[in-house]
Structure 1
Amino acid sequence: MLLQLIDMTLHIDKHLAAFIALYGNWIYAILFLIVFCETGLVVFPFLPGDSLLFIAGAFAGAGAMSLPTLIVLLFLAAVLGNTVNYLIGSYIGPKVFEKNWRFLDRDALRRTHQFYERHGGKTIVLARFVPVVRTFAPFIAGVSGMSMWRFQLFNIVGALLWAVGLTLCGYFFGNLSFVKEYLNVIVLVGLCAAIVPIVLGALWKLFRKRPAAK
C-alpha cells in the first residue's frame, strides 16, 4: 500500500493520464473527491495534493481538461474540505472540556485557542502548502474554537492561493520540456522541502526537552 502511494505520488502524471482515458469527464468528480478528502478528513493526509493540482493544470494546458471547470471544482473542494474538517473539530472541541481526560492538557488547548485567534489566519493559509499539516490545521482550528468567520476568510484566501495558484502554474509551466523531463525530481524536492523542516523542528524540540528533563 505504501509503495503504491509513493509510486502514485512520484508518477502522478501517468496515473492521471490513465484515469482521464478510463473515466472521461468523471475525472473532474474524482479530482474533486481527492482534494475534498485530503483537506476535509483527517484520516486521509496521505492523498496527493500539490502535485495533483499542478499535473491537473498541465493536462488542462495540453487540452485534456477544461481549465475553468477544473479551477472552480478544485477551489470548491478545497474550501468545502477545510470547512467540514473545521466543523468536525468544532463538534469535538466542546466535548473535550466536558470530561476530565487524563491524557489531555486543557491548558494547552486553551493556549492553542489563543494562538489561533492571534495567528490562526496565517496558519490556515500557509498550512495549505505543507502536506499532512494542511489536513490537520482546520481540524485543530475547530477544536481550539477559532471563530468561524475568521476561519472562513483565511480558508477562502488559502484555497485561492493553493488550489487555483498551483493549477494555473501547471497550466502555464507544466508542459515545458524541462518540467516534463524532471517532473519526478521536482515533485520529490517539493515534498522534501515541505516535510523536512517539520521533522527537523520536531527533533530539535525533542532534544531540547531532554536536557531540561535531566
Structure 2
Amino acid sequence: MHTIVPAVVPIFDATSLLHTFGPWVLLGIGLVVFVESGVLFPFLPGDSLLVTAAILSSALGITPWQIILVGVVAAFLGDQVGFWLGRRVGRRLFRDDARVLRTSRLQEAEAFFARYGALALVLGRFVPIVRTYVPLAAGTADLRWRRFTLWNLVGGIAWVVGMTVVGVLLGGIPFVAHNIDVLSVVIVVVSVLPVVIGALRARRTRPTPRSGERV
C-alpha cells in the first residue's frame, strides 16, 4: 500500500517538495504560496518553489501558464487573509518572545509599509518573510480594501510571473537543469539577503544604553 505523503515532508527542498506532491503538484504549489503570502507562516520556499517548478514543468507534467494561474490566485487569496487578520485581530496575535508571530517582525513590516505605502505590496512580494507580514501591516494601518486589493493583485502577478519566467529562462541552460538543488540554495540566499542586511543595519543604528540605564 502506497502512502500519499511521506512521514517527513522536505519543506525547504523545493525539488523534493515538488516531487512529493506527485499528481497534486499544482495544488501543492498553490498551498505553499497561499500560506506564505499571508497566513503567518513565512518559512516556506515560495521563490525557489516557483522557479524550480518552472524549470521542471515538463518533468512534472505541468505548464508555466498553469503555474502562473495557480500561483497568482494563491498569492492573491493569501494576502487577502493576511489583510483581514490585520484588520480584525492586528497586534493581538503577536508577542515579543514568540518564535514566528514576533512583534518585531510586524514592526519591521509596518515600517516597510510606512515607507513605501501601497507599493510595499508589490515590493514586499520579492522579500521573504516581509511578504508574509506586509498584508497584515496593511490591515492594521486601515488601508482601504479596494486599494489594497488592486496593489495586492499587481504584486501577486508581478511576483509569480517574474519567478516563473526566471525559471523558464534558466531551464534552458543545461548547467542549471543539472544543478537545480544548488540553484534553489542560491535563490533562497539571494532572497533572504535584503532581510539580513536590513537587520544588521537596524542593529547598528540601535542606540546603546548608557551606563546605569536598564536594558
TM-score, length of structure 1 as denominator length: 0.75
Which of the residues 75, 80, 83 maps onto 2:80?
Answer: 83
Which residue of structure 1 lines up, in the alignment, with residue 31 of structure 2?
Answer: 33
For residues 117 and 74 of structure 1, the distance between their equivalents in structure 2, rounded to whole angstroms, comes to 27
Note closer, same or farther for the CA distance 1:69–1:190 as it changes in structure 2 (3 Å cut).
Answer: closer
Which residue of structure 2 lines up, in the alignment, with residue 12 of structure 1?
Answer: 14
Aligned residues of 1:54 and 1:174 also touching (Cα < 8 A): no
Alignment of 1:1-214 (within 5 A): 8-9=11-12, 11-20=13-22, 24=23, 26-42=24-40, 44-62=41-59, 64-93=61-90, 112=110, 116=113, 119-211=116-208, 213-214=209-210
Aligned residues of 2:68 and 2:164 also touching (Cα < 8 A): yes
> Which protein has the bigger helix share?
1
For residues 210 and 40 of structure 1, the distance between their equivalents in structure 2, rounded to whole angstroms, comes to 32
Listed one character per residue, the Cα deviations across residues 59-101 of structure 1 (whole Å, up to 9, x for unaligned) are 22457213333321111001111011111101124989xxxxx
Unaligned runs of 5+ in 1: 97-103
Aligned residues of 1:61 and 1:175 also touching (Cα < 8 A): no
Aligned residues of 2:39 and 2:78 also touching (Cα < 8 A): yes
Note closer, same or farther for the CA distance 1:186–1:58 as it changes in structure 2 (3 Å cut).
Answer: closer
Percent identity, aligned pairs only, is 34
Aligned residues of 2:127 and 2:194 also touching (Cα < 8 A): no
Unaligned runs of 5+ in 2: 1-7, 94-102, 211-215
**CA-based RMSD:** 2.8
Aligned residues of 2:170 and 2:177 also touching (Cα < 8 A): no
TM-score, length of structure 2 as denominator length: 0.75
Higher relative contact order (CA 8 A, sep 6+): 1
